[in-house]
Amino acid sequence: MSSKQHKSFGSWPSKISASNVAEGAPRISESCLHKGDIYWLQGLPKEAGRTTIMKATGSGPCGILPYPYSARSKVHEYGGGSYCFGDNTLYFCEASDQQIYALPLDGSEQIKKITDLPQSRFADLIWDAVRERIIAVHEYHHSDHKVDNNLVAIELNGKLSVLAEGDDFYAYPRLNASATKLTWISWNHPHMPWDATQLWTANIDTHGQLTNSLTFDGGDTNSLLQPAWGKDDTLFFVSDNDNWWNLYCVPVTDETTQLRWQNCRQITQLEAEFATPLWVFAMQNYAIIDTNFIVASYTKEGRWHLCRIDIATGSMTQIDEPCSSLSYLQAEGEKVTFIRGTATKFQHLCLLTHSVVKPVFEQPDDDIEEVSRAQAIRFATTLDEFAYAFFYRPCNTNYECDGPPPAIVICHGGPTGQTDDTLNNKIQFWTSRGFAVIDVNYRGSTGFGRHYRQRLNRQWGVFDVEDIVKAVDYLVSKKEIDPNKVVVKGSSAGGFTVLAALAFTDRFSAGVSLYGIGDLELLASDTHKFEARYLDSLVGAYPSEKSVYQQRSPINAVGQLNCPLLLLQGLEDKVVPPNQARRMAECVRNKGLPVALVEFPDEGHGFRAGATIKKMLDAELYFYQCIFELENTFESAPMTIENI
């Protein structure tokens, strides 16, 4: 006989509070090695989401970036590659003004501002030791809102010189060991970097400028990513030429006059992905150890693997057990640092030395008995195809209930993104209260090959919606969830899927949209440069296919929407401007349906501050308590729900 107390699903008291989620397990990213020391970026929710730079020491991790400095690039709005090291100096992008600053590591001097260019932003910083300068991606914002991107060299007196220009976007500037050659990638509208890119190499002359620039054009069907130089000037890169992002290499010498496919060698030939979409700069899924070996991470069927690869033969030796996520591999000699996540551990920093993995920084886990472990599911969807999801059952050590539970379906952002089952308290917050969670990798998601990733081309708002509906139908048929209590929730592009699902199907009981898109026409004319032509592939050319935009926009089908809606929006959002959420709220309000709009003045695209995350979770929980008539656990309402 069970010793658990019987209580209705969705009403279970939980040890995981909104404050726990807001203040615990901060974001970590951009791990690296410098002179044997390990550094990484870490978000500080208690300090309004400030991002500091951490260093591992014998007595534990310590922040080396003093308050109020925050290391975060805003190039493409998503940033990345926001710091690098000189010999004994740290250079970083300051979040508040997007300028580059210098911090001496020996504490001999104060932080010094290097650049003073208010209309400029920088990302993907690397150090050119031979010329004592920084090389970076540069984004210049004109007064008329036009934006230019290029590659620049930045002298320590703040002077800029352009190295490469003419294309719409640039990423991955990387120097060879002798700093005599530079490689990078570029791409142009209407492509996104996971559609088609060009790979470049060039020599660097005595004046520090590029000469003999060579381009390796992948055409319109090849995404070339993550270039890196080997010790012998072999150029390594990742390509999805065979449907999967695999590793390749090509020799480059001073006599090389063309980069050709026939000169390339494919190192790995797996039905797996050795890369992730270039949403943020400086993502790296492999690290070159020496002329013989690479350490790499790849994802296959929803699991991430770490391996050692013999460059000459392509033979692979697995390292450690498969896990939920692996990112930011960076080597210094035989040492490799990376960030890993598992189903029972939050993201944590690891160091690999001679095939032995040791944790460097781990975030405290909650009571392991309270954790719901995901079940990976594959389910049939339309057109005789399949889609994927992670299914979390309710889990609480003290409470239980008979019958199927209410469910929350999560639509990840992107939509060219993916979800994994790394321990995440934003999910455990719900499962520990008696909700099931379905986290869907709908068609269009990454991790299952180029063909799967492109299934959403011209079908955004169709296939993703069909897949989340089919995921619900599949679990209802297994009697795993209550068919009458299903919420659909998503952020950004996932928020569009939420609104489309509510407008064009009657499968869901309620919706929660975080900075989601309701009007595709408005988005096509009012978003930032990086995604300005993204909809060309997802929906169609605009304005020539204006009718498709109108048909797919949930804002034009509010008359078909018949359930409650919660909207959460940052007022500093440049990707999905606040007018999207406001227009959607007004339309739902005018129809007489329950609706709530919660705005956060100091947040952009993605919530960072602990106070915001707590308020968001409280609002969402209160919303569910009201619409499903659950026990109200709030002394005072955290928000107003209209028409309820």
pLDDT in tens, 389-434: 999 999 999 999 999 999 999 999 999 999 999 999 999 999 999 9
* Residues in the chain, total: 644
**Token output for 552:** 């797919």
What SS3 class is residue 438?
A: strand
Q: How far is CA 230 from CA 175, 218, 290, in A?
A: 10, 21, 7
How deeply is 395 buried, as exposed, middle or buried, from its count of CB atoms within 10 A (0-12, 13-18, 19+)?
buried
Strand partners, 175: 182
Mean pLDDT of the chain: 94
Contact 340, 347 (CB under 8 A): yes
Pair type for strands 181-187 and 50-57: unpaired
Average pLDDT in the 307-333 region? 96
Give the global pTM: 0.94
> Could you give the CA distance from residue 636 to residue 631 in angstroms, rounded to a whole number?
13
Give residue 1's pLDDT: 55
**Residue-wise pLDDT tens digits, 571-602:** 998 888 899 899 999 999 999 999 999 999 98
* pLDDT (0 to 100) of residue 574: 83
CA–CA distance, 553 with 521 (Å, rounded to integer): 8
pLDDT on residue 107? 80
Show me where the domains of the chain are located. 285-363, 367-627
Spatial CA neighbour of 452 closest among 466, 439, 463: 463
**Residues contacting residue 60 through CB under 8 Å, at least 6 positions apart:** none
Q: How many CA atoms lie within 13 A of 407 on its CB side?
A: 30
CA 291, chain centre distance (Å): 31
Decide which of 253 and 97 is more confident: 97
Q: What is the pLDDT of residue 297?
A: 98
More confidently predicted of 274 and 231: 274
Note the pLDDT of residue 452: 97
List strands edge to edge, sheet with 293-300: 286-288, 293-300, 303-310, 316-323
Residue 334 banded pLDDT, cuts 50, 70, 90: very high
pLDDT beyond 70 at 366:
no
Q: What's the confidence (pLDDT) of residue 368?
A: 60
Token pair, residue 496, equals 């569009």
Percent residues over pLDDT 90 in the chain: 86
Query: How high is the pLDDT of residue 224?
Result: 97
pLDDT value, residue 284: 97
Task: List, as one string, the DSSP characters of 119-149.
Answer: TEEEEEEEEETTTTEEEEEEEEE-TTS-EEE
Torsion of CA 255, 258, 261, 263, to 10 degrees: -20
- Give pLDDT, residue 260: 87
Largest CA distance in the chain: 80
DSSP state of 632: P
Which superfamily does 367-627 belong to?
Answer: Alpha/Beta hydrolase fold, catalytic domain (3.40.50.1820)
Segment 38-57 mean pLDDT: 94
List, for residues 205-253, the tens digit of each pLDDT value. 999 999 999 998 778 889 999 999 998 999 999 999 999 999 999 999 8
Measured in Å, how far apart are the chain's first and last C-alpha atoms? 41
Cβ(137)–Cβ(182) under 8 Å?
no
**Which candidate, 485, 490, 300, 312, places its Cα nearest to that of 406?**
485
Could you read off the pLDDT of 140-172 as tens digits, one per residue? 999 988 999 999 999 999 999 999 999 999 999
Q: Is 407 helix (H, G, I), strand (E, B) or coil?
A: strand
Return the number of other C-beta atoms located less than 10 Å from residue 269's C-beta.
11
pLDDT for residue 530: 96
